[in-house]
Structure 1
Amino acid sequence: MVTALDPNTALVLIDLQNAIVKIPSVTPTEVILANAAKLVAAFRKAKLPIIIVTVNPTRAAGSAIRAIRRDVKSSMPAALPADALALVPEIETEPGDIFIVKHTWGAFYETNLDEELKKRGITGIVLAGVATSRGVESTARAASERGYNIAFAQDAMTDLVASAHENSIKTIFPRIGEVDNTDAIIAILRLM
């Protein structure tokens, strides 16, 4: 249960991209996107920052890890159609939003996310997106290590594997933040 949000909290949406949301997942994509869009609207109304994180995995295919570990295989093609990596149309952006492109699971690794948060005085984040046990969890772990207070919108995230999703929601996330649903988080935002 989310008990409070920092006055300087940002919404961080992970990998809500055309190709990614088409992958079969535990929770129907329509539900995840509707809840993510509700969070965006609430954060806009509260005049709090919105961070859109997308992944471009093609650079990761040639990463140093892959060069060292010959047994790590990537199923990613060398190039993807441009619309595959585009943000889904359900998430409407504005010029003041912060856009981060990552190349691995976590949104902090080799990006300027931490700098963007710090220069705005952000001390807390609300996380949502795909996939719960990969992009969201990796980003959450790094955010926790950097001292951010974290809230998780559990009904605005999903995974490809039910047991992985459940492990993140019930075991990992409560250790590093607070977990609740979109409506509860929005209710707290309204009180701020």
Structure 2
Amino acid sequence: MVTALDKNTALVLIDLQRAIVQMPVVDPISGVLTNAGQLLAAFRRAGLPVVLVTVDPANRPDLRNDAQRPSRTVFPPEALALTPEIEPVPDDIRITKHSWGAFYDTGLEEALRQRGVTGIVLAGVSTSIGVESTARAANERGYNLTFAQDAMTDMVASAQENSLRVIFPRIGEVDTTANIIRVLEGGRG
């Protein structure tokens, strides 16, 4: 349950782009996108930073040094675009990542520090990969974390369950979109 949000909290939405949301997921993607859109609107009303992260795996760094390098996925340009429900505005921070986490080899940390961000609300696809990798890196950097459990989904039910029930409660607070927005707007969770 969300108890509080930092005065300088950013919304970070992970991989809500056309290629990713078309993958088979545990929860209906329409509900995830609706809830992410509600968070987006609430953060914009509050004048707080919004970070829209997309992945372009074609430029993934070669992190392995053995013969087991995974093949690169190449998305056509239209597949890299955000979904229509997540329409960017000029003030949004746009990050393109090339690996699982949004902090690795991107300008995300610098962009957040420049804005004095101390807390992050995370949502997106997939819970156990992009969201969890970003969350772990954010936790290591000292950000206070809140997870919008109904604004994220995964391709594997047990992986999502592990993230939501085991990992995320150890590093932040997990709650619904409605409760996060209520706290954001000055109410109680």
Range of TM-score over shorter length:
over 0.9
Aligned to 2:20: 20
Verify: 1:142 aligned to 2:133, yes or no.
no
Distance in structure 2 (CA, Å) of the matches to 1:70 and 1:11: 38
Secondary structure of residue in 1 paired with 2:10: strand
For residues 31-110 of structure 1, what are the structure 2 equivalents within 5 Å?
31-60=31-60, 63-66=61-64, 68-74=65-71, 76=73, 79-110=74-105
Distance in structure 2 (CA, Å) of the matches to 1:19 and 1:179: 27
User: 1:76-117, CA deviations, whole angstroms, 9 ceiling, x for partnerless residues?
Assistant: 2xx321111110010121100000010000000000100000
Secondary structure of residue in 1 paired with 2:3: coil
Q: Give the counterpart letter for 1:186 in structure 2.
A: I
**Gaps in structure 2 of 5+ consecutive residues:** none
Distance in structure 2 (CA, Å) of the matches to 1:143 and 1:58: 24
When normalised by structure 1's length, the TM-score is 0.95
Q: Give the counterpart letter for 1:105 in structure 2.
A: W
Verify: 1:165 aligned to 2:160, yes or no.
yes
Verify: 1:3 aligned to 2:3, yes or no.
yes
Give RMSD over aligned pairs. Answer: 1.0
**Gaps in structure 1 of 5+ consecutive residues:** none
Distance in structure 2 (CA, Å) of the matches to 1:47 and 1:65: 38
Secondary structure of residue in 2 paired with 1:58: helix
Distance in structure 2 (CA, Å) of the matches to 1:191 and 1:127: 19
Distance in structure 1 (CA, Å) of the matches to 2:21 and 2:162: 21
Distance in structure 2 (CA, Å) of the matches to 1:71 and 1:92: 38
Moved more, 91-100 or 138-147: 91-100
Give every structure 1 segment of 4 or more consecutive aligned residues whose post-TM-superposition deviation is greater than 4 Å: none
